[in-house]
Amino acid sequence: MNPGASSIIELTGVSKYFGPFKALDDINLSVMTGERVVVCGPSGSGKSTMIRCINRLEEHDEGRIVVDGIELGEDTQNIRAVRQDVGMVFQQFNLFPHLTVLENLTIGPIRVRKMDKARAEALARQYLDRVHIPEQADKYPAQLSGGQQQRVAIARSLCMEPRIMLFDEPTSALDPEMINEVLDVMVELAGTGMTMVVVTHEMGFARKVADRMVFMEAGRMVEVAPPAKFFSSPDSDRARLFLDQILEH
């Protein structure tokens, strides 16, 4: 990471309520261009809510979120502009079941970027190559395995040529034998210098690619540290307890 890099995602004092429940509590985070941040923590700690706020799938109630120089607010044009620059990969893939793999990949470029069909398809095939499934272009999502579906979902986001990729527990819904094929694609993506914010429990992946670890609990950011320090000697007891629990086996 070069020292002159500017922050591309800036969260300042962000809070979010679900009714009386405080899901996010005064979150401050700034992510540099090209930085890879891995967010972990027990379930219900607000990890997913936080990254969903970054492309406004959830609305924050307090504080400011600035993505790529655009502040997220009520303005729908701003929100759409941000979403075009921010790719999102979901736990449940969320591919469009009525469209083929190729159509899943081209619908964004064609409808949102107004690209012509031939160019969009060329782009889509290029990204299918990148996720190692060029031969599945004409199948429907239901005909693919979970790992393949998630790789298609990653390719779909990449087709919008985003500057930031968000991953919301991308491997949690997968069978164990398929986790690695998805993580491999993500490691390769990290190698291209993409800015990534990843919510995951895959600590091997985190160790390999993360520039910074964020540990959350009860809507708060409890600890932020480089992975080397985070895994060997975390400052907070909670983080230590959490690591003990998930690294036990």
Partner 1 sequence: MDWLILAVLAGFFAVIWFRISGTLNYKWQWDRIPNYILRWDEEDGRWVANLLLQGLITTIRISIYASVLALILGTILGIARCAENLAIRMLARTYLEFLRNIPPVVVIFIFYFFLSEQIVAAFNIEGWARGIAKQEGNGIWEFFFGDMRRFPSMISGVMVLALFESAFVGEIVRAGIQSIPRGQREAARSIGMSWLDEMRFIVLPQAMRKVIPPMSNQFISLVKDSSIISLISVQELTYKTVELVSSTRMIFEAWLTTAALYFILCFGLSLLFRRLERVPQR
- Interface residues toward partner 1, by CB under 8 A: 55, 57, 80-81, 83-84, 86-88, 90, 92, 94-98, 107-108, 111-112, 140, 142, 153, 156-157, 160
Q: How far is CA 183 from CA 11, 67, 177, 200, in A?
A: 27, 25, 11, 11
Residue 76 CB, shortest distance to partner 1, in Å, is 8
Q: Which is nearer to partner 1, 3 or 97 (CB)?
A: 97
Helices 146-158 and 117-130: crossing angle in degrees, nearest 10, is 130
Q: Which is nearer to partner 1, 80 or 229 (CB)?
A: 80
Residue 140 CB, shortest distance to partner 1, in Å, is 6
Report which residue type is found at 68. Answer: D
Residue 159 CB, shortest distance to partner 1, in Å, is 8
Question: DSSP states of 3-18 as a string?
Answer: TTPPEEEEEEEEEEEE
Q: What angle do CA 131, 47, 184 make, to 5 degrees?
A: 20
Residue 105 CB, shortest distance to partner 1, in Å, is 10
Q: Which is nearer to partner 1, 85 or 235 (CB)?
A: 85
10, 27 in Cβ contact below 8 A? no
* Cβ atoms within 10 Å of 248's Cβ, excluding its own: 6
Residue 148 CB, shortest distance to partner 1, in Å, is 17
Residue 205 CB, shortest distance to partner 1, in Å, is 22
Q: What angle do CA 34, 152, 135 make, to 5 degrees?
A: 120
Q: Which is nearer to partner 1, 15 or 94 (CB)?
A: 94
Rounded CA-CA distance 100/110 in Å is 15
**Considering just the CA atoms, what is the radius of gyration of the chain in Å?**
18
Q: Which is nearer to partner 1, 152 or 239 (CB)?
A: 152
Q: Which is nearer to partner 1, 83 or 212 (CB)?
A: 83
